[in-house]
Every structure is written in C-alpha cells, then in structure tokens.
Structure 1
Amino acid sequence: MCGLSGQFVDSTVLILKSEVCRTAFSQNRSWLKSFLQGAYLFGAKIGSFGGIFAMKKTIALFAAVLMLLCAVPFAAIGEMNLAAAKTAGDFPDAVFDPLGDAASVEYSHNTNFTGESGTEFVSDGENGIKSASGGMRSSVVTITITFGEAVSNARLSFDYKVSSEARYDYLSVNGSTEKTLSGEIDWTNYSQTVTAGSVVTLAYVKDSSGDKGSDCVWFKNFALQSLGTVTFENVDPLAVLTVRNAEGNIETPTANGNVYALAAGDYSYTLTRFGYQMQSGEFTVSGDMSIELGAMTELETCTISFSVTPAEASVTLTHPTGGEMQADESGAFVLPKGEVYSYTVSAANYVTANGSFTASADAVIEVELTYAGEAWDGTTVTQPAEENGVYMISDAAEFEWFAQFVNAGNSTANAVLTQNINFNGKARTAFGIYDYADNNSGYNGTFDGRGFAVTGIAGEDGILDCIGPDGVVKNIIANVNIASDANIGGIANTSKGLVENCLVAGSVSTSANYCSSAGIVGRAMTGNTVRGCVNNAAISNTTNSYASTLSLGGIVGYTYGTVENCYNTGSLSAKQDRTNNKGIGGIAGQIHAPAIVRNVYNVGSVIGPEAGIGGIAGVLKGTLQNAYFLEGTASNGVSSTEGTPTAEYASKTAEEMRSAEFAAILGEAFNNDTDGINGGMPVLTWQGGSAEQPNEIEIALLQYPELIRDFVDKTQTVDMNALMNDIQLPRPSTLEDAGILTDRSNQKVLMESMNTDAFEFYGYHGIVYRPLPGSPAVTVQYRISVQDRNTEEILGSRVFELTILPLTEAELAEAEQVMRSACTEEVYWNGIKGENANKDSVTANLAPFSELVLNENGGFDYIRGAVNITFGGIDVDDLPGYDPMSYQPWREFRSSHPSIITCENLLVTRPEYDTLVTIDSVFTYTKYAKYWEKFGENSDYARFEAFFKQPVSVTVKVLGTSGSGTVEDITATVRINGRNFAGFTNPAEFTFTAPGDADSTVWDAIAAALTASGCTFDGDGYLLRSVTDVNGVTLSVGTYGEACGWFYKLNGEGDQPAAGTNALADGDVIELFYTDNNEAEGIVTLVGDVNGDGIVTVVDALMLLRCALGTEPTTAAALANGDIDGDGVLSAEEALAVMRMAIQM
C-alpha cells in the first residue's frame, strides 16, 4: 500500500515497493522491511517529551533515514553543520528566509479581497505558501519582492503551481501571465536575474465567477543565488556561442549575447561557425570574469560538382546550420570539408531526388532523375483497368477518373498505382468528400501508391480532401505546391483513418488563422493514425491575424489520434511579429487529448512568434513520447501545455542524431541512413538505410519477455499478448544468467512504460491495469535498457509490446462477492482467535494475520507473516488515520484496550475483571483495489472502492482474574506552568477523569487539560513543539536556547518515560512546565541522548540502531536514555523514534 517507487532498477539496489520489501529481507531484519514499507515505525514505543527539546533541528527525514539504512560512520557526520529547518507552522513568512536581508517582501490586495492585510497568503501545511483568496471573485493578491543595494547580480528562483477551474484565474509574474491552466498542475520552476532595485511582482488574479476546486496559487523553494558576470571577448559576430553548465544544459545569455550571468560552478563553451573550426573550452565561475577567444580558423575546402539528367534539372544544396549553399559561375560548390550536406535535384516532369554526402575531397555527384509520367493536359479523363475489384491507375487521367468516381458516391473503391503520376500543375479533383454532419464521411477504401510518385499537385487541396474512418492511404511519394485559406495537408486535408508510409515534398501554405495545415494531414481527427510518414515540404502560414492558434505542423496541423514513427525535415514559418499567435510545431501544431505522438523527430527550422513555436509541438494537451528536435530549430520542444499532458521530449545535436544510438532509440521503424538519403539522420525502414547490427546485450535482450513470470505464482510463464494479472520482472541474477547483464556490478537495468495508465513498473513488479468491461484490449510498448552505472552509457536497448485484456463483468461480480464474504465478523474472528475457542471467553493471546486467500472449499486460508504474502488475496491494510510519522500504537490491528489486548501483535493480559475489547482492521483486495487507488477520481471506477480498506471488527470478552466486576474511574491533577516566560498566562488547575480501564496515559491528561483551558498546541505524546495561551502568547521549543522546551514531572519526579507511553494512575499529579534549563529542574535523563553529549541528534539515532542490531555494544547510558518504552530492550523502532526527536517531526 505504501512504499518507495523507482524509475530504474540496477543489479544491487532494490527500488522499493511494499510488495518488493516484503520479500527482500529475512525475518531477523523484518524491522527494516517494515520501515521501508512504512510499517510499524513506532507503534506504542514512540514518544516522550521529557528532555527531547535539547536538540538541534537537523536534516530532512528522508536523508536521515538514508543514513540509518546506510549505517554512515559516526565520524562522517559528527562534524556536520546541521542547519536549522523550518516547520510548516513557521510559514508563510519563513518561505522567504532564503532571501535574507537582500530583499523586502510585501503582501497586498485589491478591494475584492475580503481578508485582513497580511493574510493574502497562508501556509500550505507543508513547506510553502498558497493564496488565501478562495471564493473572492475578481480579487487580486500580490507578493512584491524588492531587492536592496546589497544585490549586484543574482538569480531569484522559486517553484509554483496554479489551479483554475476554467483557465480564467491566472498567475502573473511582473505583469506577464505565467500560467492559466485548468486543474492543479505539477510544480514548475521560475527564475530571473535581479540586481539592486529590481522589483518582482507575483499576482494571482481571479475572475468574476465562483470557485470550482482549490483555485489558488502555491509557492515554495524561494532562493537567491549570487551570479558572476562572464564576458566573452573577441567573439566572431557570425559565430554561435553556446555555454553549458555541468549538467549539460544550455545557459541563456543576457541582452548582450556575449555576456552571461552564471552561478558559481563549472561550465563549458563552444563557438561554432559554418566553414570554420569549432572552438571549445571549460571554465569555473567564482565571480566576475572575462574569456578571450582567439580568431576562428577556416576549414579546408573541396569542390563538389553535379552531373544531372536531364541536363536542365536544378540543384539545391543545403547545410543544417549553414543554410543554402551557393554555386560558383561554373555551377560547382566550394564547400568546407568534414560537413554533411543535403541536396535536392528537380526538373519538370521528373520525380525530385534527394540525397546527402559528407564533403571530404573534390568529387562529381551523378544524379539521374526518374520520369514522373506523362504530363496531364488537365482535361483528359480515362477509366483505369480493374483487377479483382481494385482499380489499376497508370497515369494522371486515370487518377482523375478515380477521384471523380469516388466523389460520385463510391467512397469505398480501392486502387493502386502502377506508374508515377504527373498532374503537371493542372486543376484536379481531391477525392473523399468531407461532411461535417457525417462522422463516416470521406474516402473509406484503400489507396496504395506502391512507392510511386505523384507530382505536379497544385491548387488548394492535398491529394485527398478527407479520409474516412475506414480509409487507408499508403505508400505515396508526393510533390505538392498547394495553398489555401482552409484546412490543408499534402496527403489529406482531413483524416479520420490511416495514412501510412507516405512522403511529401514541395510546399504547403495557408492564409487562414482558423484552419490547420501540415505536410501530411491538416486535420487529424479522432480515430486517425499517421504512421511511418516523412515531410520534406516547406509549411507556412501567412495570416496577419493576432491571438490565433494556427495549428501549423510538419506532419499534422492538429491531432486527436495517433502519430508515430514519423519525422520532418521541412521548414515551418509564420509571421514573427504576430507575437501572441501560437500552435506552430515541427511535428504538430497542436496535440489534443487524448492524442498520442511518439517515436518522432524534427530537424526542420520553426520560425514564428517566439512564445508560440515548438521544435516538436506548439500546444500540447495529450501525450508526447520519445520525441526529439534538432538543437537550434526552436528554443523549446513544446511552446505551451494545457491540462495534464505527458511530455517526454528532448533536443539533440546533429551529431547525436546521426548516431546509430539515436536510430535505435527511435525504435524498430527506423534505420541508420547508410544510403545518404537524409543527411546521415535516421530514415524509415521503407526508405532504405540499414539497421545497426545488435551487440551481444541487444541480442540477449530478445529473451527478456521469456523471463517474465506471473507475480503471484513466480514459476508460471505468462502470455504477454493476453495479460490479465500483474507480472514479475526478472531480477539481476536472472538477467546475468541470460547474458543481459554482462558485468552485473557495473550495470543497471532501466525499465520504461510508454503508457503508465495501463502498465507501470515498481521495482521488479509490473502492475497491470486492465481496461474496463466492454472496452477493447490495449497494447503497450515498454523499453528495457542496460546502462553502464559509471558512464551512464546505454549499452543495449529494446522496445517490446504487451497486450492487456479488459476486465469482464463476471469476474468483477465474483470478486465483489468474495470481498463481501471476507468482510464479516466470523471470518475476522476465525483469523485472529488463536487458541481461544470462543470470542466470549478469551484468555490466550490472539494471532494476527497478513492476508486472506480463497481456498478450494470456498472458505479462506489465513496467511501469517508479511514475508509469506501471496499478493493474490485480500490484505490486512493500514487503518485510516495511520501515519508512520505520528504517534499511535496501531497500524493494521487496533485494540480498544491496548493494556489488555495489545495493538498489532494482539497479546493478551488478563485484567482483574471481565472486559469487552474491540479489535478492528481494514481489508483491501489489492488485485482490484489498485484501480480505485489510481483512478478513484474517475466516476467510471466508483465500484472499485468496495475493494479498498473495507472495515471489519470483532468485540471479544477477555475473562478477568476475578471474574466480573466494575472498575472505578481514575482522576489525575494537571498543572500547566509557563514559568513567566514571555508573560505566558497559566491556566487553572485541571482535574482529569477517565474510566479505570481506558488505558489512559500522562499525555491523555495533558492534552485534555490544554484543550479545556483554551490553549492550543502543536505536538503529540512524545514531542510537544509549542503551546499558545488564551492571549496568543506562544512558547516553543528552542526559543531560549537548545535546552528550552516543555517538560513534565509526575508526582514531583522529573525523569520520566514518554508521556504517550507513561500509564496514568489514580491520584497522579502532573506538572507541565516550560524551562530553559532542564537539569536545574532535576531532569537529567535526556530521552534519546544515547551518547550522553547533552543533545539529541542523528548520531544518537545511528548509535541506538547499531545497538539494536548488535553491531555496537549496549552501554548503560544507551539503555537508560534509549529505552523509550522501558521494556529493557533497545529496538529499531526506538532508533527511529529518536530520529524523529532529532529532527523534531
């Protein structure tokens, strides 16, 4: 149910999930397993506030736990500077503490904010702040940060997230809208450079409508980092200077492109100019500095000539960064050596040829163009021959006949090309009529180009107007020169079907601000697929309109369907001065939800308004996976996102894109460009090229699916084409035996699912989420890679597929009946009764269990011990309210009288008189509850709540040693004394009364007294952080020194165990008091101070842990101060309790 989840698994480190933890550790280390699951962290053993306040605030809990697990030597941490940490209660002001004295912070609001000044932002309960303007229509709350003279050059950064019901409430930074999104989004980092006098305003603006959800903005992690000014001198004005940080990320220069404001650290730079040797270097920033660059050196050149047929053909030669090359008077090209160039050779009535080469020496490149077919006269129409119901099209006249035939009501007619087609720029018919009112409109047959070229496409349409939902268009090489003020695409203006293995060259243009345009498909509607396609055409939008989403893309204008295994080399352009236009992307202008775009790359330049262009997509609302764009084609891969998209994309250099590794990353649909087709960058397998020969790891990886087993029965193989249950992934030893891990100690396995809504990795557990009843099966791709743990190089990688079958109504109904049968008092009692025959006469210990498994007789078998869980049954889950970081003695089994029947292990101590005790738990049917946990907010999954944490209980009678009788109430006196610190008002003496069999503790009495007196407090039965009196005076831990805080004495004695574990007796007198000197009060035993240095730190927790494990001898001081529950034994649970004390959680 809870645990740590990892994105990768290696051969020595277990990436943790509760199921993995349960089987990972032997029983004598079950405490560690329990901790990693979040289980039994403290139980009844945590707690004390009898001296725990003499401590430093230290490091975050997770880092502390890591030190516990790694058993860091004391010497390694003993001298650490343990910086004070802020608690949530210190916010909102403390969130700005990292700015120090360098800046002043003010809150403000407009008249529609109805709260008090200074309350515009409040604590978010964790480590940040959030706006407090919920429900206040048309309100504006603002944070103004003003930087003083001490700031010369620095970077302000912070994280934010925004929630808005309909994109009308927004965050504005310095007057510019930063985020207007529907629904809470992930944390996003913002940073900007500031100097003395800089003013940064953060305003949350609400519209005039009511709230629908949280509707606020959150901020956290404010930081101010001093910057050094790095000036590059003597930079060639025609060269490109690139500076990268130690992580390889590109740094942005100031307005002067040769000056950078950089934080302290290591950096590298490159200076590149086409035709010149690259300069590079490394430098370390510790303050202002300048770097003198030398003059750039020209590369050697060579002369490249073209011999073309026909002789009148024109040659266009381009370079990725140098642009179009110009020939000399003889038609030859003088080119810098060592660079890769692409050429296009074209002539009227011929099929355009493309190729590439690396310039290394003088050479002549011969290109013979293929005849495009007889040029059409624009009027002749001829019926083609028909074979087996398929029209065999051999020229443009026959093509035009077929187009007219389809549009005359024959939308399912099939055709193939038998020759190249040359429309000669004449007006022609685009077939497949689009009808807005008919979802099935368009061409619904199969049109196979068989790799022939269709040239001379001109006018206002692509080859087709609309492809219907059953239409298939494939294997066409098209050369188009089309322009329109409507939706337009080189293959189809609109598609609801399949376009596969097509290539478009030429140009596509639109002048409309409301239509979609692209090289392959303009509008790719719901249900469409574009697969294995290439666009080389220039795509442009010439509209003069503003504030428009242009839907301009290399492959699709917009898509609601699937785009996969495609790439774009054509340029995209829109007017740059229309600064608020958007939706311009190298692959797609817009990717709507639920569209999926995957295994794609773009190398074409994207020009337009800076905020509206993306190297991959202009606007992303759907899923983008395994997508790449050439560095420099656009500043960002995606210009904007909306909703909750999946965005997996990256930029690559040209050199990286020409590598065999890049082709492998794109997947099996791509080959290396060994034929010089695409400038050395990957091509589709149907285009040519060749696949790199797999190495031994990649060959071995072919076995991977065969090594997968059922998650419950780990000996059972599984059908990866018909999955219904979770799967067990092969562990490192198995991978080593299979030859997949060839050097196990230096390698790790990376596992990635391309659709985490259907399939997820958690360690070696593959979690399968089946579609709902009535839904189709779903196919998911997943990638398995082997990585060198030292260099992070990918040594081998393969993408596999699995298919998940949908749930059925019958199996869900059966599972619901099983769950109802399990959640009964009878089943629960039979599981825990132990040696007791009757729940009305309990005298012996009860027996907890971990899981219920349905047996052959229709009853249940009880699985005891977490290490024996099968994962196929019904688990005893964490009770609601269980918090491993808080004080409570129960997790899975709760007792109403822990002194008679303990929580969790259910040990019985017979009382004096017969006593009724209720034990309760919750059951979770993990196999089906996982759907509720993942998709519970979706109403379609409402029925799965019945499988998650369903309550079950039983009331038993524990027989007393004296039979039946009545236990008298107990009373205790509580006195609260602030000892005159800060004018704290002491409440009146309080009398606490409780039933004698209520298992009351000292903490119960203190908490009741504080509440009854009107005081408020922060803490629990072992850590009382602060108390606030009725006048608002607060006394907190550490205010007056390390030794100050709240302590208590019981019947005059100061050395006491944890208040939450100290049993209360009739007549007890408790004094809760605040002091800055515990020793002066007679409190010399500092609970948790295992090493006796007077403070409780992480070192004490580590020492206690080692004592509990037996790796460190137990001293008298360790036993006196570390035995929190007073049972005479040191335990790992007590070590973790001391950790809590050390970091004041």
Structure 2
Amino acid sequence: MKKKAFICTCAASLLICNCVTAAPVFAADYSFIQKVENLQYDAEFQAELAEEEAIKAGKADTSWFDPDDPKEVYEITTEQQLFGLAKLVRTRKIEWKVNEVYTFKGVTFKLMNDIALTKNWIPIGNSEVHLFEGVFDGNGHTISGIKINGSQEDNQGFFGYLAGTVNNLNLSGSINTYGSNIGGMAGTMTSSAVVENCTVNIEVSGTDKIGGVVGESNSGQVINCHNQGSVKGNVKVGGVVGENWNGRIEQCSNEGTVVSKGKGVGTYGTGGIAGRSVAKSAMIKESFNRGNIHSGNECAGGVVGYTNAVGSTVESCYNTGSVSGPEDGSYGYVGGVVGSIGEDGVKLRNSYNAGTLKNGKYIGGILGNYTADYYNDIGRSISNNYYLNNSAKAAVGKDREGKGKKRYSKTIVPMSSGDMRSTHMASDLGNAYRPDTSGMYGMNNGYPVFIWQENETIDRNAILKKMRIGYKDSFQKFFEENLYGTVSGEFIIEMFNPHVYIENMFSELKDKAEDMK
C-alpha cells in the first residue's frame, strides 16, 4: 500500500514539474485561449452529461424513428416517446458535423392522448442549431406534470428553441429557472415559428424575457393562446410573451399573476400580454388581461409594459386586472393598457381599461407615459380608447408635450362603470367587440368582450352568493310562491341571466307577478 502511495506521489510531482517547466514555452495569449476553450468545453460537457442523465431518467424511446426510413407523420402516445423526441432534436446526425442535426422540418408529430410526465422535463431544442422545425399537433390533448427546476440555462420551456408550428396543445406544470428566454410553451421563437390554439397553466419563473406562453418571440406568431399560470421574472415579463420583437400576438389572454422583481429605470416592461412589444411590425391585437400585474420595473401596463417604433400596434385590447408599479412611487409609469410608448407613430386604438391602477410616479388611465413629439399626429396614432374615470386622474400619466387633458379629449375618454357596461359601448369600440350579455356577475363583469370569446359557464350559485342579502331572501321567496309545474327556478335564471342584471330583472318579475294576482 505504501509503495503504491509513494509511486502515485512521485508521478503527481513529476506531472506538476512538467507543467511548471513547460508553461514558459507557450505564449501568454495562447495559454489564455487554451484555458478559456477548456473551460467552455468543460461547461458544455457538464451540460451534456446533465441532459443525458435527465433523458435516461425519463427513459427516452427513440425506437419509433428510423433515420434511414423517415416518415412524414409520427404519432406520440407515451412519455418515453416525448423524451425520445427531445433527445433526437439535441442529437447530431453525424457526431463530427456540428450542423447536421435532426430539426424535423416538414414532419408532423401528432399527440394521440393525454400524457402525465413523471420525470423532470428536458426541452425540445435549446439553441439556434438544435431547434424544432416540424409541426407538433396536440390534437386537443394535455401534457401535464412538466417540471424544470433550478436550471441556469437559457431557452427553457416545453420547447426550448422553436422554429416550427405548435397547435391545439394544453400544458400544465412548473418551470422555475435562473435563465433567460423562459416560457411555458417555448423559450425562444424564430420568425418561422407559430404557436396557435394552445392553453398553458404553468408556473413560470426566470430572469430576463419571461412569458407564460413564450419567453422571446423574434417575429413569430402567437395566436389564440391563453395563459392561466403565474409568471415571475426580473425584467421583460409578460403574461403571454416576455418580449415580442416584431412578432404578432392575436386573440390571446392572460389570467395569471405577473410579477417583475427587477428595480430601476430603463425600458424594461411588465405587462398582462407582453412585457415589451418592440420594432415596427410588432402587433398585439384582440387580446385581454385579467391577471394582476406587480412591477418593480419602470414601465407597467395592463396589456403591454413598453412599446416603440413607427408602425408598432396595440389594437382592440382590454384590461380588467389591477396594475401596480414600484411600491415607493419614486419612479415608474403605470398605464391601464400601455405602461410607456417610447416613440412617435405607435398605434393604440379601440382599447379600454376597467382595472385598478396604483403605485408608480406617473399613472394614466390608458397610458403611463407618452413621448411623442408631434401634437398633430395624436389623432392618427392614438384613437378611440376608454378608461374608468375612477382608475386614474388623467388619461396619460406623463406627456412630453404637456398638453394636458385637452390633447386627449377625443382620443382617450374617461367613463363611468355604468356607461362602460352599456350595450352601445361594444359598438363604440369597434367590430371586434360584443356586449357581455352575461351581466355584471358573468364573463367580464358586464364590460365588453371580444366576439371570439366563448360564453363561459355561469355558476348560478355563485351569482346568488354575490347578490345582496335582501335580494337573495326575496328572490327565494318569490320562486317558492310563484313557480309551479315543470318550470324551475334554475330555468328562469337560465332565461334571463344572459341578458340582464339579475337584481333589476328580479324587481321587474316581482312587479309583474303582483299585477297578475
């Protein structure tokens, strides 16, 4: 034993001596480059090991894929096949050819049933090289139990890096990381990527560019997607998309709480639909937020925190959630729809705010801050917007031109809650809207909704609980005294609840019943 120890010690000493005497032979910058490359290689190697271990834990099944006989459509039925897809996208076709990878462009994957994951998830794709370019058809099914915990890597989500299409898919789970570009469905989207008809209920957290559905969209399209999970990050945090760079967001919604923890002044944004929506073709259209927004950043908005560039558009959007800026109120812009518009030519049209606004230095019913230089352009770029008159003292919190209320009198209009719930309000906002016929206890508290929104199931017991006690007792007594035969109280509620406020209609019914006696 001692002899072996002695030999090992001598060998180690000899190795150290060789290293010391050899070092001066090489130039200093060469040694530095070599060291950096070694560190990078080591980090990549460790990441690959971690991925391999996770994939092994998930027992990846790639038996369905034959590279010599590829198919146009693959059916996914098991957790192991999902892990297999993730493994293949991260695999090189030929080990020594970096860009020879499986992206599955032109290939469709169809989910045939719900799948509950039992192992920690490894995203499908993670970089510009290892990305998914195929079509993933969720077929209306749900993948639950998605879990990514403690990762420091960027591009995390069910898809890490998406250049293809995902549709008709529902997800649930949790993604808690320390990286950037984190989203429930996709961490990063390219210009060719589309996410459509999807629902995400995932608790998502990270640092920069964090979204309930997508972390960063680089000219991608997010259509008819809905987030129900909480979203937390430092900067550029959105209920649907963290940063929408030149992309399109249409007919989307957020009902989850959105929180940005980063503090300080800058164009960082926090919003119900997008944290930031920037570049000339960036669009948010026919989308709404019901979730509560809590921002430590400079810009917080019910729909979008910050937007800029001529041509960028926020059109036919609404907010009913609460929006709060920095708690100390020493800085920050808080807007019912947009936190801050940073350039001339941004279009803000046919939108409204019915949510509460607080904190921040500047608070506006529609806009927290507007930096446009040209007074005469206001009517062309900002038009037909409304806000509850008790949500803010002014339509715009801070205005570079300082024109005051007069400047916005025809473009942003304060309204009472009664007027905003009126039947004509939807037509005033434009053809994207319809009245909330379910009344003040229904889908949207009586405020206008979009035509694309389906009628939500109304809980009649919940409606009755919200009624004042006096009305509730009289309502019950009225049914007992006046209903007979096959007609039930539930049927009566079914008849009139979709069209009027329950308390007012009850009074009318009661009067008519008295006249008939």
Name the TM-score, length of structure 2 as normaliser.
Answer: 0.52
Higher relative contact order (CA 8 A, sep 6+): 1
Aligned to 2:304, which of 529, 540, 556?
556
Q: Note if 1:379 corresponds to 2:98.
A: no
Match of 2:319 in 1: 568
Aligned to 1:390, which of 135, 148, 169?
135
Aligned to 2:337, which of 570, 580, 587?
587
Q: Note if 1:491 corresponds to 2:240.
A: yes
Q: Is the 8 A contact 1:433 1:443 kept in 2?
A: no
**Shift in Å at residue 596 of structure 1?**
0.7
**Shift in Å at residue 406 of structure 1?**
5.8
Q: Note if 1:474 corresponds to 2:223.
A: yes
**Shift in Å at residue 582 of structure 1?**
3.2
Aligned residue pairs total 296
Match of 1:618 in 2: 368
Report 1:136-147 matches (<5 A). Answer: none
- One-letter code of the match for 1:652? M
Q: d(CA) in 2 for partners of 1:602 and 1:404?
A: 31
Match of 1:726 in 2: none
Residues 445 and 578 of structure 1: is their aligned pair in 2 closer, same or farther, counting only changes over 3 Å?
same
Q: Note if 1:637 corresponds to 2:395.
A: yes
Q: Is the 8 A contact 1:673 1:688 kept in 2?
A: no
Larger-gyration structure (1/2): 1
Q: d(CA) in 2 for partners of 1:466 and 1:658?
A: 35
Residues 650 and 656 of structure 1: is their aligned pair in 2 closer, same or farther, counting only changes over 3 Å?
same
Q: Note if 1:412 corresponds to 2:163.
A: yes
- One-letter code of the match for 2:137? M
Q: d(CA) in 2 for partners of 1:541 and 1:570?
A: 13
Q: Note if 1:654 corresponds to 2:412.
A: no
Q: Is the 8 A contact 1:382 1:397 kept in 2?
A: no
**Shift in Å at residue 636 of structure 1?**
1.2
Q: Secondary structure at the match of 1:537?
A: coil
Gaps in structure 1 of 5+ consecutive residues: 1-372, 435-441, 544-549, 691-1145
Match of 1:740 in 2: none
Q: d(CA) in 1 for partners of 2:306 and 2:341?
A: 6
Instruction: Describe the superposition over 1:494-544 as per-residue Cα deviations: whole angstroms up to 9, x where unpaired.
Output: 11210011110121111222321111111100120000111111111246x
**Shift in Å at residue 608 of structure 1?**
1.2
Residues 553 and 659 of structure 1: is their aligned pair in 2 closer, same or farther, counting only changes over 3 Å?
same
Instruction: Describe the superposition over 1:271-312 as per-residue Cα deviations: whole angstroms up to 9, x where unpaired.
Output: xxxxxxxxxxxxxxxxxxxxxxxxxxxxxxxxxxxxxxxxxx
Report 1:732-881 matches (<5 A). Answer: none
**Shift in Å at residue 396 of structure 1?**
3.8
**Shift in Å at residue 407 of structure 1?**
4.3
Q: Is the 8 A contact 1:376 1:426 kept in 2?
A: no
Q: Secondary structure at the match of 2:351?
A: strand
State the 4+ residue runs in structure 1 displaced beyond 6 angstroms. Answer: 397-405, 431-434
Larger helix percent: 2
Q: Note if 1:518 corresponds to 2:271.
A: yes
Match of 1:679 in 2: 445
Gaps in structure 2 of 5+ consecutive residues: 1-113, 126-132, 149-154, 373-380, 457-517
Q: d(CA) in 1 for partners of 2:147 and 2:136?
A: 12
Q: d(CA) in 2 for partners of 1:602 and 1:687?
A: 18
- One-letter code of the match for 1:474? I
Q: Is the 8 A contact 2:351 2:429 kept in 1?
A: yes
- One-letter code of the match for 2:427? A
- One-letter code of the match for 1:628? Y
Instruction: Describe the superposition over 1:461-484 as per-residue Cα deviations: whole angstroms up to 9, x where unpaired.
Output: 212121112x10011111121222
Match of 1:445 in 2: 192
Q: Is the 8 A contact 1:683 1:689 kept in 2?
A: no
Report 1:344-355 matches (<5 A). Answer: none
- One-letter code of the match for 1:651? P
Aligned to 2:354, which of 603, 606, 610?
603
Residues 682 and 378 of structure 1: is their aligned pair in 2 closer, same or farther, counting only changes over 3 Å?
farther
Match of 1:530 in 2: 284
- One-letter code of the match for 1:683? V
Instruction: Describe the superposition over 1:222-268 as per-residue Cα deviations: whole angstroms up to 9, x where unpaired.
Output: xxxxxxxxxxxxxxxxxxxxxxxxxxxxxxxxxxxxxxxxxxxxxxx
Q: Secondary structure at the match of 1:423?
A: strand
Match of 1:752 in 2: none
Instruction: Describe the superposition over 1:726-762 as per-residue Cα deviations: whole angstroms up to 9, x where unpaired.
Output: xxxxxxxxxxxxxxxxxxxxxxxxxxxxxxxxxxxxx
Q: d(CA) in 2 for partners of 1:417 and 1:644?
A: 47
Q: Secondary structure at the match of 2:428?
A: helix
Residues 626 and 376 of structure 1: is their aligned pair in 2 closer, same or farther, counting only changes over 3 Å?
farther
Q: How much is the aligned-residue C-alpha RMSD, in angstroms?
A: 3.3
Q: Is the 8 A contact 1:415 1:447 kept in 2?
A: yes
Q: d(CA) in 2 for partners of 1:378 and 1:636?
A: 51
- One-letter code of the match for 2:167? V
Q: Is the 8 A contact 2:314 2:348 kept in 1?
A: yes
**Shift in Å at residue 644 of structure 1?**
9.5
Match of 1:1121 in 2: none
Q: d(CA) in 2 for partners of 1:633 and 1:448?
A: 34
Q: Is the 8 A contact 1:584 1:614 kept in 2?
A: yes
Q: d(CA) in 1 for partners of 2:282 and 2:445?
A: 30
Match of 1:459 in 2: 205
**Shift in Å at residue 685 of structure 1?**
0.8
Q: Secondary structure at the match of 1:480?
A: coil
Residues 377 and 585 of structure 1: is their aligned pair in 2 closer, same or farther, counting only changes over 3 Å?
farther
Q: d(CA) in 2 for partners of 1:433 and 1:456?
A: 13
Q: Secondary structure at the match of 1:476?
A: strand
Match of 2:454 in 1: 688
Residues 587 and 390 of structure 1: is their aligned pair in 2 closer, same or farther, counting only changes over 3 Å?
same
